[in-house]
């Protein structure tokens, strides 16, 4: 060891360490990205390439018909529409109700404010996996099974969103609000024209979290939607794994094509808001 230290200067040593770090980091990244690469590569292969004894890393001829197979086998665009509608409903109600409640909890004055906020925080401790049986019974009784509203209702308010928005609103100085009130703006005006624009980064974080939660939701839609035509994408894509008779199939090139199609919207959002998403997710944790 001491010999080595004498031979290699501290500067060179540091450089070697950084090179090793970079190589290790690239290796880890390759391993982590590989499943997604494999999803793409498989989706473009023929059945023979998928079921061959040797690994084909990239298809010889790109098989676009895998995608048309998926679209024809299941009502793919209907699934996508269902998912989009439910996600849009969920995003708008989470944001609207969240903003209103967060204003009341940060700047509002009313008795029971503390108790109400505790109710909101406590709801975070009660996951849908505990409450789904009574919820299922309630939804069935009011006739909302297999409807957008039935899927929406379980995620229409997020206590997490209220919590994040309240944190953001609390940082807005009261002087802004008083100035606006003096100018004759009413409460809703103050809220939506002053506070919401001032807390834009948190708004984006909450909206993106709601989008992800809605688009990737699986458990509740699976419980509440029993009609195939009303499936959301996450549940509907699973149908590609079974034949018409219900047997498990091995047509993985087509299954992967379906999965790939279903996650493209997420990647588009990811590409547009990439910066916001990374900082948003981590910022939320630091609160």
Site string for other proteins, 225-264 (x = CB under 8 A): --------xxx-xx--x--------x-x--xx--x--xx-
Least distance CB 219 / other proteins (angstroms):
6
Q: Restricting to residues 268-287, name those near other proteins by CB under 8 A.
A: 270, 274, 277-278, 281-282, 285-286
**Rama region for 12: left / alpha / beta (φ>0; ψ in -120 to 50; rest):** alpha
* Closest residue by Cα to residue 87 from 278, 191, 226, 234: 234
What span, in angstroms and rounded, lies between the C-alpha atoms of 131 and 135? 6
Q: Restricting to residues 82-121, name those near other proteins by CB under 8 A.
A: 97-98, 100-101, 103-105, 107-113, 116, 119-120
Q: Is 145 in the site for other proteins (CB under 8 A)?
A: no
Q: Which stretch binds other proteins (CB under 8 A): 5-13, 84-92, 132-140, 143-151?
A: 132-140
Q: Is 81 in the site for other proteins (CB under 8 A)?
A: no
Q: Is 164 in the site for other proteins (CB under 8 A)?
A: no
Task: Give yes or no for a contact between 124 and 205, defined as CB atoms under 8 angstroms apart.
Answer: no
* Closest residue by Cα to residue 210 from 136, 287, 133, 277: 277
Q: Is 187 in the site for other proteins (CB under 8 A)?
A: yes
How far is residue 83 from each of residues 17, 213, 236, measured CA to CA in Å?
Answer: 48, 11, 10
In terms of CB distance, is 71 or 156 closer to other proteins? Answer: 156
Q: How many residues bind other proteins (CB under 8 A)?
A: 90
Least distance CB 120 / other proteins (angstroms):
6
Q: Restricting to residues 41-70, name those near other proteins by CB under 8 A.
A: 42, 50-52, 54-55
How far is residue 113 from each of residues 39, 95, 156, 287, measured CA to CA in Å?
Answer: 49, 20, 21, 21
How crowded is the C-beta side of 44, counted as CA atoms within 13 Å? Answer: 13
Q: Is 1 in the site for other proteins (CB under 8 A)?
A: no
* Closest residue by Cα to residue 192 from 165, 213, 167, 211: 165
């Amino acid at each position: 060891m001491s010999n080595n230290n004498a031979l290699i200067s501290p500067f060179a040593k540091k450089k070697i360490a950084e090179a090793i770090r970079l190589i290790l980091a690239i290796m880890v990244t390759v391993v982590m990205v590989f499943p997604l690469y494999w999803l793409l590569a498989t989706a473009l292969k023929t059945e023979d390439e998928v079921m061959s004894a040797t690994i084909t890393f990239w298809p010889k001829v790109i098989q676009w018909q895998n995608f048309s197979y998926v679209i024809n086998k299941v009502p793919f665009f209907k699934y996508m529409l269902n998912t989009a509608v439910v996600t849009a409903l969920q995003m708008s109600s989470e944001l609207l109700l969240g903003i209103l409640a967060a204003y009341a909890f940060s700047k509002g004055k009313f008795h029971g404010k503390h108790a109400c906020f505790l109710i909101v925080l406590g709801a975070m401790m009660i996951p849908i996996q505990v409450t789904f049986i009574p919820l299922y019974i309630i939804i069935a009784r009011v006739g909302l099974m297999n409807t957008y509203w039935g899927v929406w209702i379980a995620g229409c308010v997020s206590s997490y969103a209220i919590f994040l928005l309240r944190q953001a609103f609390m940082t807005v100085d009261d002087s802004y609000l008083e100035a606006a009130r003096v100018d004759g703006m009413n409460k809703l005006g103050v809220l939506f024209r002053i506070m919401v624009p001032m807390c834009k980064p948190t708004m984006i974080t909450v909206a993106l979290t709601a989008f992800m939660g809605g688009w990737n939701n699986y458990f509740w839609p699976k419980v509440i939607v029993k009609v195939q035509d009303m499936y959301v994408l996450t549940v509907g894509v699973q149908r590609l794994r079974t034949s018409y008779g219900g047997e498990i199939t091995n047509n993985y090139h087509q299954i992967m094509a379906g999965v790939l199609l279903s996650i493209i919207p997420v990647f588009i959002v990811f590409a547009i808001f990439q910066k916001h998403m990374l900082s948003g997710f981590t910022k939320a944790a630091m609160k």
